[in-house]
């Protein structure tokens, strides 16, 4: 049945976020030649609204203002109105978010920016209520006042917009500069000092409410512990991981993490679930499992990746982007419980479940219950008078029953577009998940995801950014190239299939060709063939995801280790050196870049395992190495009965001259640029500490 409401131009788009606005009375355009030409030809200012499908306050502003006939008429009369999905156009989001931060000192979504016809911002903010509220101007009044300023104070508006653009462009120039200063471990130490100062000692994390997970920071802390055996830094990482896993920010029934916590103790999340958060957090928990051996971290990683395979991977292989925070118009409704519901579903097991998961008659959040644990479930057995194994079985049975019941509810909205950059992160997580956990589901998932991307997202020799409804579109950004290369490298280091390494090199070579800044080193966010905007951004610091430059630095250095190609190593080092000034100013904002610094400063260790992959000796040694925390070691296994070692050595020099000795599985260890004698004793390589 056709929707009887009028439609606007957004009905032609594929983005779920834009389609959510297709029936607004606002005369929306998508960003593109049609809208921009109209603004120029009619000399009209632009009202640019940027958000994303899982954004709660974006939905609120839509209901309050964009569906309001009077406000929509005002918008249509006074502006060319453009709606942008920030996940499709992170280039626009970065530029205009920076502009709003310059103007107001803060940012967020929905992002509301007013532009001159030549796309220069002159006023902006985030969420506006429809009418004036305490401390907040109403959107109706903002729209009228901004247009009045544009008409009556045009020269002042032009001067303001020019200053803002100059400020943005100066920030880009300052983002990197040529440096021949030596890279030292002091950069990493300075970040650790900042994390110590920011650490919240009661519930973990690195801020008061709202609390974000910071998985890149945790991964850097784990690396530091691996080097220095620092108990305090280990506590910072593990307390944060523990409390997140116990809290409501983790989906205790279905697995996977919500975006962030609105309170100090990780109880009440903002309920949206993002693909990138879960990829990066899965990696952090996998690394913590390797470093500490704690099964709880393996459990959380397993449940998180299993949720992605079950609910977030499409039949074609690509991973979907987000699950909304809202269902039936209410944030979190899908995830919360009343005690009587649980009692009706669980019967005799309800009392134990409610004790363990903090469920009360009055609720622990706005009259409902968010499932969470005050301590590990296994610590309740004495309180409940039951054995640990019996309690674990009862709780597992209860969770399965509640999950089945929850699945009958109205589900949150799914943004099912496939983004290359976020998919690259998840491929890396799935490949690493297979290595650490040994779960075949995760390797199969990584293969499917990677196959989809290389077959669907490369068109006419150009990587693309977004896919939905059979359409691949939008030129890829630096994050797409860097993250996909990361995922493909992880997949190669899991399967040892050369095709994935070759694909990683192609993606990286195109990244260098299209994005590299010859003047000051580093990578621009957009390619040389991208549309010209008011600035060509060059982000280096981490946000919710690691910056494309940080991932690229890690990729380049790893490819140098894998292939022996000096050009990769030189560019990686140039990128790190060009980022030093930024890192010195705020080292804790550059966790993933500092992981690359840490990698660069370590003497390489390479381990080659040569023999039948089905042999117990080789497979056991490989599994043992994979379960250990070895973030820098290069581990390659080849079967001479299947693999052409001579040809493989042309692409991975570590394999040169490696063969089975006496027709037995043979292990080779190379450290500090020198190889030891081959051995049949796997213990000689598996008992080595991390490099």
Q: What is the Cα–Cα distance from 25 to 7, expressed in whole angstroms? A: 8
pLDDT tops 50 at residue 423 = yes
Could you tell me the pTM of the whole model? 0.95
Q: Are 149 and 212 in the same domain?
A: no
pLDDT tops 80 at residue 180 = no
For residues 276-295, give the mean pLDDT: 98
pLDDT at position 127? 95
The answer to whether position 3 is within a domain reads no
pLDDT at position 176? 67
pLDDT at position 641? 87
CA atoms within 13 A on the CB side of 450: 32
Measured CA to CA in angstroms, residue 313 lies from 74, 307, 319, 419, 598 at distances of 42, 9, 4, 12, 33
pLDDT tops 60 at residue 615 = yes
Mean residue pLDDT across the chain? 95
Q: Are 386 and 345 in the same domain?
A: yes
Q: Are 136 and 108 in the same domain?
A: yes
pLDDT at position 414? 95
The answer to whether position 181 is within a domain reads no
pLDDT at position 56? 85
Tens of pLDDT along 111-122? Answer: 999 999 999 999
pLDDT at position 178? 65
Q: What is the Cα–Cα distance from 160 to 178, expressed in whole angstroms? A: 31
The answer to whether position 560 is within a domain reads yes
- The percentage of the chain sitting over the pLDDT mark of 90, rounded to a whole number, equals 89
Q: What is the CATH number of the domain that holds 64?
A: 3.40.30.10
Which residue, among 84, 79, 221, has the nearest Cα to 144 in the 3D structure? Answer: 79
Q: Are 609 and 597 in the same domain?
A: no
pLDDT tops 50 at residue 263 = yes
- The percentage of the chain sitting over the pLDDT mark of 70, rounded to a whole number, equals 98
Among 378, 408, 438, where does a domain finish? 408
Tens of pLDDT along 556-602? Answer: 999 999 999 999 999 999 999 999 999 999 999 999 999 999 999 99
DSSP sequence for 471-520: EEEEE--HHHHHHHHHHHHHHHHHH--HHHHHHHHHHHHHHHHHHB-TTT
| Counted domains in the chain | 4
Q: Are 353 and 266 in the same domain?
A: no
Q: Are 135 and 241 in the same domain?
A: no
For residues 648-669, give the mean pLDDT: 94
pLDDT at position 174? 76
pLDDT at position 474? 97
Q: What is the CATH number of the domain that holds 442?
A: 1.50.10.10
Among 121, 145, 174, where does a domain finish? 174
For residues 169-187, give the mean pLDDT: 81
Q: Are 444 and 591 in the same domain?
A: yes
The answer to whether position 609 is within a domain reads yes
Q: Are 574 and 654 in the same domain?
A: no
pLDDT at position 393? 93
For residues 129-155, give the mean pLDDT: 94
Q: Are 150 and 204 in the same domain?
A: no
Q: Are 290 and 372 in the same domain?
A: no
For residues 141-146, give the mean pLDDT: 96
The answer to whether position 315 is within a domain reads yes
pLDDT at position 379? 87
What domain range is 539 assigned to? Answer: 186-328+415-601
Burial 240-254 (b: 16+ CB within 10 A, else e): bbbbbbbbbbbbbbb
Least confident of 18-22, 205-209, 378-382: 378-382
For residues 601-610, give the mean pLDDT: 92
Among 408, 434, 468, where does a domain finish? 408
Give the torsion through C-alpha atoms of 207, 208, 209, 211, to 10 deg.
Answer: 30
Burial 592-619 (b: 16+ CB within 10 A, else e): bbbbbbbbbeeebbbbbbbbbbeeebbb
pLDDT at position 1? 43
The answer to whether position 2 is within a domain reads no
Q: What is the CATH number of the domain that holds 675?
A: 3.40.30
Token pair for 433: 């998940």
Tens of pLDDT along 30-63? Answer: 999 999 999 999 999 999 999 999 888 899 999 9
Q: Are 510 and 440 in the same domain?
A: yes
Tens of pLDDT along 1-23? Answer: 456 667 899 999 999 999 999 99
Tens of pLDDT along 455-510? Answer: 999 999 999 999 999 999 999 999 999 999 999 999 999 999 999 999 999 999 99
Q: Are 58 and 17 in the same domain?
A: yes
Local confidence band at 643 (pLDDT 50, 70, 90 cut-offs) = confident
């Amino acid at each position: 049945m056709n929707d009887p409401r009028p439609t606007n131009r957004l009905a032609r788009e594929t983005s779920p976020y834009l389609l959510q606005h297709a029936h607004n009375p606002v005369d929306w355009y998508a960003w593109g030649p049609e809208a921009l030409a109209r603004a120029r030809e009619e000399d009209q200012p632009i009202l640019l609204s940027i958000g994303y499908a899982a954004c709660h306050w974006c939905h609120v502003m839509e209901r309050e203002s964009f569906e309001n006939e009077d406000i929509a008429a005002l918008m249509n009369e006074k502006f060319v109105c453009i709606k942008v999905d920030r996940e499709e156009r992170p280039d626009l989001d970065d530029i205009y978010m920076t502009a709003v931060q310059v103007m107001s000192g803060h940012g967020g979504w929905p992002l509301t920016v007013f532009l001159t016809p030549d796309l220069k911002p002159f006023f902006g903010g985030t969420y506006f209520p429809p009418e004036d509220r305490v401390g907040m101007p109403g959107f109706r009044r903002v729209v009228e006042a901004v247009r009045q300023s544009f008409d009556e104070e045009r020269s002042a508006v032009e001067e303001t917009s020019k200053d803002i653009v100059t400020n943005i462009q100066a920030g880009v120039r300052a983002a990197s500069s040529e440096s021949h200063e030596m890279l030292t471990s002091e950069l990493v130490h300075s970040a650790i000092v900042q994390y110590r100062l920011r650490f919240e000692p009661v519930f973990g994390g690195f801020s008061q409410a709202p609390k974000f997970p910071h998985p890149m920071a945790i991964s850097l802390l784990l690396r530091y512990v691996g080097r220095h055996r620092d108990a305090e830094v280990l506590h910072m990482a593990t307390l944060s991981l523990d409390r997140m896993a116990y809290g409501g920010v983790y989906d205790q029934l279905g697995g996977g993490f919500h975006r962030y916590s609105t309170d100090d103790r990780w109880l009440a999340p903002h309920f949206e679930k993002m693909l990138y958060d879960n990829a990066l957090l899965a990696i952090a928990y996998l690394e913590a499992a390797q470093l500490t051996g704690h099964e709880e971290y393996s459990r959380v990683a397993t449940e998180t990746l299993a949720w992605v395979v079950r609910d977030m991977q499409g039949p074609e292989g690509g991973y979907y982007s987000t699950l909304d925070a809202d269902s039936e118009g209410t944030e979190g409704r899908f995830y919360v419980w009343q005690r009587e519901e649980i009692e009706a579903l669980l019967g005799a097991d309800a009392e134990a479940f409610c004790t363990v998961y903090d469920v009360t008659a009055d609720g622990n959040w706005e009259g409902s219950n968010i499932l969470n644990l005050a301590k590990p479930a296994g610590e309740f057995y004495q309180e409940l008078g039951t054995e640990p194994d019996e309690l674990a079985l009862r709780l597992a049975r209860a969770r399965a029953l509640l999950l089945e019941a929850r699945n009958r509810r109205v589900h949150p909205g799914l943004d099912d577009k496939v983004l290359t950059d976020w998919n690259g992160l998840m491929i890396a997580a799935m490949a690493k998940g297979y290595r650490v956990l040994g779960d075949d589901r995760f390797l199969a998932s990584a293969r499917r995801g990677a196959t989809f991307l290389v077959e669907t997202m490369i068109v006419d020799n150009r990587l693309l950014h977004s896919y939905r409804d059979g359409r691949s579109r939008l030129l890829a950004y630096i994050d797409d190239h860097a993250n996909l290369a990361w995922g493909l490298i992880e997949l190669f280091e899991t399967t040892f299939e050369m095709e994935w390494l070759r694909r990683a090199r192609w993606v990286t070579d195109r990244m260098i060709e299209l994005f590299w800044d010859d003047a000051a080193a580093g990578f621009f966010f957009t390619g040389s063939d991208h549309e010209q905007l008011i600035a060509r951004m060059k982000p280096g610091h981490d946000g919710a995801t690691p910056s494309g430059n940080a991932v690229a630095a890690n990729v380049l250095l790893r490819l140098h280790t894998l292939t022996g190609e000096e050009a990769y190593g030189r560019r990686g080092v140039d990128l790190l050196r060009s980022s030093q000034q930024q890192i010195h100013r705020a080292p804790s904002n550059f966790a993933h870049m500092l992981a690359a610094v840490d990698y660069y400063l370590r003497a390489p260790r390479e381990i080659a395992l040569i023999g039948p992959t089905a042999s117990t000796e080789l497979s056991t040694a490989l599994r043992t190495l994979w379960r250990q925390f070895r973030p820098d070691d290069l581990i390659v296994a080849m079967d001479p009965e299947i693999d052409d070692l001579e040809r493989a050595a042309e692409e991975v020099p570590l394999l040169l001259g490696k063969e089975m000795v006496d027709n037995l599985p043979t292990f080779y260890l190379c450290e500090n640029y020198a190889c030891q004698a081959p051995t049949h004793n796997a213990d000689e390589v598996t008992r080595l500490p991390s490099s």
